[in-house]
Chains A and B, each alone.
Chain A
């Protein structure tokens, strides 16, 4: 298992280099000059050029990248082009928000998705059909719309939960959870339905295998058959899908954080993109890439835990 983890981590290094280079190139060649964003629409071309020089934006691209990368390996991701704020500080203050959102949504998706999928697989018939319909709805309903509807119903009309914002866990664990319930539900809607459908299909396939019939014939209690043998054998595709949804939720956080006015990485990405803040965007992409690597690593570790043969692969 250790070898697996080390190998995956080593593979992540070139991935991060490529991602950072691609982001750097794409953001640099995108139209628009960050200096113009700082100075606004009334600044003259001369002033924009002067500030571009001051910001080092007129340097050749490889030089700009090497300067950035040289600092990045020491943990210095530079300063925001627009606000001069430290990118590292901005990211570290916002990362817990996005992690709270994505981890919570993934957990809810897994819990509800597996429960619903198992229920559907074991009952079949109309329940299976219902799962399909729910899955279709989950895919079809845009998360921002669902978020706005939940705010209107639960926060504005029922006054049960706050409409927007985020409370730090350290300030009040209860308020932290309350501030996250609606965003969690909004973001998890897609995951629940997707995981439920995968669970149902996998469970149905596994529960129809011969060894399950043999176990039943041997008098093994049904709960042991379902949990220890059925679910475990069906788990690998479920874990794969969960990993995919967790990564998708990192992307979905952009919309959800905007709708719920949460100070996370997604909302920061939106404001940075609007302002043309390249260094901030670069930092965000690198952090997201690291999170994707971590999620994939966790998925790989789960494979190893669920299937010992995978540890040798």
Chain B
């Protein structure tokens, strides 16, 4: 064995040398390496590359965000994760963190008719798109009409609109198919969505060109030389931006990081400045690590749509009410979404259009009452409910399983059909094979629910059942009220009436949590949207 000693030692030495060389490489740049390097680590590297253009008014530094989802496109018409079009496309109306509507590309807006179907928007004068053309009423109308022709998730936003037409050089009018509320009309073209993010005439002519160069009016423009689709998106200050003080960063970099743990690690290590949508369980660790937490209000959460109301058990109101009474919401809210979740049985959530506090507490947990209602409807022995659950709306099928357990207590047997992909889900949802399905509420208000999400023919309503007449009547009356306050009051009545029909089973609303580096300033503790708006809220970067 002695003859092998030399080799044994040599092998060991090789191992040690390799380990040392790796360690040396690792330590080569010392502690400063935490911010350096990677394409995701521009925090420091970017500080060098992000030479601040004083002309553009930017205050410097690279703002790097780790985002949960990629975008199918950089065209605002096909940009469901709106954050991707925020740097280069200001919306017509800016929605503040408290829900207030503020001028942006538009200076004023109002209904021009008593029927509230004609909404006039006056534009700021002297603005230019990135393609050099002027923002006019005609250009704005062309952009919005073009929006409706792009096959995308966002196209549905255009459904309630009949047409858009210019009204003078710097104004245009949106004509709706039916009366809408002031709040809905404003929200549609606000920074909370994509419809109001206008594209210049060149971009409208060739929408594919928007993947390579942005053509909007915003503080930044896309830098395609430093953009790799699906991975890294880079924006640099827009030299022609009308409000130089609105440019807060020398460069904006979005990194696609689908894994929540990766985003959280990256923001903790200082590699990124904002980790979009971290897990609730990471909240306390984030706070103890000195990160800022900001959260969306209303929250988001999946809800069960009781779809098969045409025939069978779910066609009876007593049965739907029974299912709602059978849910121990307090318990489920904590178990499913954590301490921050708020139990609610309302169809729409707090801070959205039509929220009524009474609706949130319509069906307190009461198993006995649930059983009584089932018996009254002729289902004393329960029934089988086929539930379609997509992973994207119900991660790990946790809500489905909670439903299965809770409804099992009143004799309702829930058969879960889990599907992984959205494509499969959409097909199955439309097949009328499932009594109920899980979807995300999307934190939308009542108008959106009635006009788009639950409208006849939508996957939220595969049997194309009409919205209850009482609700439709109240919503229409609301839209015709003269003031936004009166409209809201009436929408609350409509929402309460709709919640009483139990088209959906909701459990709780859960805030979407964001972790932001302590280097970022101006971060409000909460905002009235699903996602924060770093550019609209004018986040800044220090250090």
Contacts and interface: CB of A to CB of B under 8 A. Distances in A.
Interface of A: 31-45, 47-48, 51, 54, 82-85, 90, 93-94, 111-112, 115-116, 118-119, 122-124, 127, 148, 151-152, 154-156, 159-168, 172, 174-175, 177-179, 181, 216, 222-223, 226, 258-261, 263, 267-268, 270-271, 273-276
A274 B68 CA distance: 13
Q: How large is the interface on B (under 10, 10 to 19, 20 to 34, 35 or more residues)?
A: 35 or more
Contacts of A274: 392, 420-422
B252 to A, nearest CB: 16
B427 A162 contact: no
A229 B439 CA distance: 66
Interface stretch (B33-41, B97-105, B311-319, B367-375): B33-41
A40 B457 contact: no
B152 to A, nearest CB: 7
A163 B271 contact: yes
B70 interface: yes
A163 B324 CA distance: 45
Interface stretch (B18-26, B325-333, B530-538): B18-26
B435 to A, nearest CB: 18
A39 B151 contact: yes
Interface string B75-109: 00000100000000000000000000000000000
A32 B424 contact: yes
Interface string B1-28: 1011111101110110010001001111
B424 A31 contact: yes
A259 B259 contact: yes
Interface stretch (B113-121, B229-237, B405-413, B492-500): B229-237
B284 interface: no
B255 A83 contact: no
A158 to B, nearest CB: 9
B421 A261 contact: no
B430 interface: yes
Interface stretch (B51-59, B125-133, B260-268, B347-355): B260-268
Nearest to B257: A261
Interface centre among B80, B211, B268 (most CB of A within 10 A): B268
A76 B39 CA distance: 29
| A contact face: mostly helix, strand, loop, or mixed | helix
Contact of A162 (B6, B268, B269, B429): B269
B269 A155 contact: yes
Interface in B189-233: 208, 211, 228-232
B72 A118 contact: no
B139 interface: no
B256 interface: yes
A28 B25 CA distance: 46
Nearest to B268: A156
B26 A261 contact: no
B262 A41 contact: no
Contacts of B424: 31-32
Given A31-B424, A42-B153, A43-B156, A166 B38 contact: yes
Given A41-B422, A163-B266, A119 B8 contact: yes
Contact of A174 (B11, B29, B262, B422): B29
Contact of B230 (A84, A164, A271): A271
